[in-house]
Structure 1
């Protein structure tokens, strides 16, 4: 018996029957030999961590554009916090933590530079629109590994595709994927409040009192309430034969209200409007430039432009850029250089 088989046996002893067991995975689009040490979900996790797209997350904005403070979240630290929250929930319910981790680490690989501002630009640019969750799937199935993709399991791809929003979970094929979907919102609402207070754009006193009564007044309190409620409600359902996991109605309603508050006052509020417009200007100029000069793009995007259309190639290239690379490229292309005689 090799190490992978021992891990799979351990799964059968420790996970609940509703969990996603690695030995029962739907599998990959391109069949591969099993690894001697890692389960299929562990292998997926490793491929995501070792990808270029994952490394670029460290220079992609979470909410605050080009913040120089060391303690503001980036898309990478957000991803790690989602993984932390999701794995804690998974352990509390008895789900497959390796699958949870793989989905969580890959869920935002398709996010554009400058947070949702970049997504809005590409959504207007492409005729069929642009959604970062779909782009994340495109990254892992097509763009990574020099155009070969990462050949991940269907369970991980499905979880990545369906992580966005707070809507229906009917298209998510594993409970682990549902955990990541909720954990994403728990993580970003919590840490975006923290960052907003740090930036002086929000005070604790501005958060509606009815929400504070439910979640408490600190980062730790908010996460504890959300995680513990999700575990308790989910375990109650599963123990009563109901294969549904999620938050209790009271906590779910409070989280929705908090999300609406943050969208109104921070994400889409007037406070960051000037910076959002600057970011959109930079991206629109780069898009226009590469539409006019497609052969300046790397070969993989030139190939996509030929086979799938110019806009698709340009969108894939721009979507993969980090904030720093966008600004550096913008300066290189559009900012005059000083010449000294």
Structure 2
């Protein structure tokens, strides 16, 4: 049974372009389905989290990560009485705006775009689903509901101050109330992202040999999970031992969010979805104790994985790919694909051209960016 503070599809604030509703699917189900069928979602298959796309078949990609986030999000949304379809839609779309080469590519593109307003992957996700997907006859983008767009724009909290251009441009036409918190569904999607990447980065780091199972047994939550597995299955092989332990870590985090959020919601007295937005603070949270433990895990991953020598070497290599492609396309726009030429011709300033080039590069997969760099630059 859904709670009164969940987002009700019957009470949606609608779409920028009005459409006739489906007889078989709610508006949030249609949002989810449009995201899954989008070109940007398919490209996530060849965009990586930490490792470069070709380094191994077992490492997570943005696509597998998004599916894992959606699975966690649906579980927590159901336990909290929220709308699972809206939560899933936001979870599946939350990484659509990422560049090739993960945060390394984003850092490089943001630095290049500083004279033109910078680059932000959350804002880019909104731009993709509101403008850059061009498949429908009556509108650009996917024409998603207000609630899904709100969740994409501010699932990490209110967006205040100088807005990224990609977000301010759309918000001027369709006010997403960026100064408030997002729905509980969007907050669930945000914490599901944290849970998923903390777990799979431990898993991927072990597979890559950046640290050992003994190393992570020193970490809070993780050490207790391994101890329980060793007690129950003392002769388990290392691969199964790792899986059994890390799925218990997953469970601890999910249970903590559900219990903490139920208590927060009960104490807040919220009755409607708008009450959640107007509360002035998030309601879906980790407990203080678990958040403290998570910071220890993140510090470990930062040191042993994100700043590992092999990863740093890779970051330098792929940074140069982005840094060399961007000025090349700015100077030789005829190298852009035919379907991008009309946008280039309409550009009335260097800033507008830079944003078109950034849109093109950010949409590349790891593989395609490397291939284009090899083809055009060598």
Same fold (TM > 0.5): yes
Give the root-mean-square deviation of aligned CA atoms. Answer: 2.3
Equivalent residue for 1:8? none
**Residues 1:17 and 2:4 aligned together:** yes
Equivalent residue for 2:127? 138
Give the secondary structure class of the aligned counterpart of 1:91: helix
Native 8 Å contact 1:100 1:177 kept in 2: yes
**Residues 1:156 and 2:148 aligned together:** yes
Pick one of 45, 50, 63 that aligns with 1:76: 63
- Measure the CA separation in 1 of the matches of 2:123 and 2:109: 13
Alignment of 1:310-329 (within 5 A): 310-329=353-372
Evaluate the alpha carbon distance shift between residue 65 and residue 314 of structure 1 in structure 2; reply closer, same or farther with a 3 A threshold: same
Equivalent residue for 1:331? 374
Count of matched residue positions in the alignment of Structure 1 and Structure 2: 322
TM-score (normalizing by structure 2): 0.80
Give the secondary structure class of the aligned counterpart of 2:133: helix
User: 1:245 deviation in Å?
Assistant: 2.3
- Measure the CA separation in 2 of the matches of 1:73 and 1:209: 24
Evaluate the alpha carbon distance shift between residue 303 and residue 259 of structure 1 in structure 2; reply closer, same or farther with a 3 A threshold: farther
Evaluate the alpha carbon distance shift between residue 256 and residue 301 of structure 1 in structure 2; reply closer, same or farther with a 3 A threshold: farther
Equivalent residue for 1:248? 287
Evaluate the alpha carbon distance shift between residue 166 and residue 154 of structure 1 in structure 2; reply closer, same or farther with a 3 A threshold: closer
Deviations for 1:160-195, whole angstroms, at most 9, x for unmatched residues?
122459999974321000000111011011001100
Native 8 Å contact 1:162 1:181 kept in 2: no
- Measure the CA separation in 1 of the matches of 2:104 and 2:309: 14
- Measure the CA separation in 2 of the matches of 1:165 and 1:57: 24
Equivalent residue for 2:248? 221
- Structure 2: stretches of 5+ with no match in the other structure: 161-177, 227-244, 271-282
Native 8 Å contact 2:60 2:200 kept in 1: yes
Give the secondary structure class of the aligned counterpart of 1:84: helix
Evaluate the alpha carbon distance shift between residue 204 and residue 214 of structure 1 in structure 2; reply closer, same or farther with a 3 A threshold: closer
Q: Report which stretch shifted further, 163-172 or 249-258.
A: 163-172
Pick one of 66, 69, 80 that aligns with 2:53: 66
Native 8 Å contact 1:61 1:115 kept in 2: yes
Give the secondary structure class of the aligned counterpart of 1:216: helix
Pick one of 59, 64, 75 that aligns with 1:88: 75
Q: Report which stretch shifted further, 27-36 or 260-269.
A: 260-269
TM-score (normalizing by structure 1): 0.88
Native 8 Å contact 2:221 2:293 kept in 1: no
User: 1:316 deviation in Å?
Assistant: 0.4
Q: Report which stretch shifted further, 130-139 or 169-178.
A: 169-178
- Measure the CA separation in 2 of the matches of 1:214 and 1:16: 36
Evaluate the alpha carbon distance shift between residue 165 and residue 118 of structure 1 in structure 2; reply closer, same or farther with a 3 A threshold: farther
Deviations for 1:83-132, whole angstroms, at most 9, x for unmatched residues?
01111111111110000110011110110001111101111011222111
